[in-house]
Amino acid sequence: MPLVTLLAHTPDPEKTVASAAKLCYSSSGIATLQEGLTPEKTASFVEMLAEIGHESPIEHTSFTFGIEGVSRALLAQITRHRIASYSVKSQRYVREGSFEFVTPPEIADIPEALALYEETMAADQKAYDRLTDLLKEKHRAAFLAEGKDEKTANRLAEKKAIEDARFVLPNACETKMVVTMNARSLLNFFRHRCCNRAQWEIRDVANQMLALVSAVAPDLFKKAGPSCLCGACPEGKMSCGKAAEMRKFYEEMKKNG
């Protein structure tokens, strides 16, 4: 199952946001920008930004997460959030020996489905290993013919082999990544991915991320979460119809840290 860690963030994130907001609305110079920004005043600036929809100052603070135990299927979804930075374990440079994989809960609940799923993962591993061996031998011979020494030929051949062998690996294959987003991008991410209609894996990741940043910057993320927390559900006929439950869930999450 997914595990999210908050690796780093802008020091004093809410004060940084309040400083940027203060510059927009006062004649303060840079040298005196943070004077008088008590915790109460900082919270007031952050709340004002949320009320008037002025989100650009929020971009001045960012958060970096370590995410592991997730599938390549999740990777395809999370990278659609383009105002972010991603570093991901490479299947081109890292051989997947006995690869870990993510099992959807719905499959795990049915013994017959789980057995079939695990058989498929084993078959994928076998195919990957066999393809790697076949390709490696071909490339090794070619590198030796070019005059490369044995050690170099083996190293280069393996790298080239796994570039193509990875094509048989499933979306279930486990991966890990480091992700950095500014707070404005995070608010957008939470609106989409904390929604009940989001896919279960990325919703789990989003909820863990929200809990972590709420503990660090509670005023900044006070209203963060799915769209229904602060207004009508935008999903129309596809709405889960559980807005009240969602509001209670996120209220408890942020209260309990």
Residues identified as active-site: 193
Structure tokens of 58? 């929020």
Which residues does residue 173 pair with via DSSP β-bridges, in sequence order? Answer: 101
Quote the CA–CA distance of 157 and 174 in Å, as a whole number.
24
CA-atom Rg of the chain in angstroms = 24
* Nearest-angstrom CA–CA distance, 13 and 257: 17
Provide the Cα torsion 231, 236, 237, 239; round to 10°.
-40
Dihedrals φ, ψ of 103, to 5°?
-110, 120
Coil/strand/helix, residue 174? strand
Is residue 79 within 8 A of residue 175, CB to CB? The reply is: no
What's the CA gap between 169 and 10, in Å, rounded?
37
DSSP state for residue 9 in the 8-state scheme:
E
Answer whether 210's CB lies under 8 Å from 224's CB.
Answer: yes
